[in-house]
Amino acid sequence: MSNKKDDEKTQTNPTPPVDSSPQSQQTQPSGDISQHRRSHKKIVAVDTKRTSFMDNDGNWTGENVFDQVSLIGSGGFGEVWKVRHIYMHFTAAAKIIKSARSSMEQIQTEIATFKTMKHTNILSYLGTYRDKESVWIVM
């Protein structure tokens, strides 16, 4: 026959004591990858019908995604506007040239010139957007 006192001595406590310190309140990684994936914010897909894409030559295709913020200046060749990208929210300058006023050869020469200019006091060429009425040279 076993003694009750002997049984109590040999039994171990299956649960460790609870520590109420702030360090014990941190959650431990569970190792469950599905739980980890659920903890991240969902990324909303970009509507490709409403965006523009830049090709290797720096030409935007698709919808114009620039808002005209304010007129900076105008001249015989076109107007320069402060513009903001609708989705990426960067600010740039855009020289907007009416296609009817200038030949495409003149416009292409100006774009080629902007592409080669590299100076701290000159805006860098970012790309070109073309619609039915005008060409936008974005810097």
Task: Please enumerate in sequence order all residues whose Cβ is within 8 A of that of 97, keeping only pairs 6 or more positions apart, or say none.
Answer: 77, 78, 107, 110, 134, 135, 136, 137
What is the distance between the alpha carbons of residues 70 and 90, in angstroms, rounded to a whole number? 14
Residue with tokens 């740039």: 92
88, amino acid identity: M
- Per the annotation, does 132 bind a ligand? no
Specify binding-site residues for ATP: 95
Specify binding-site residues: 95
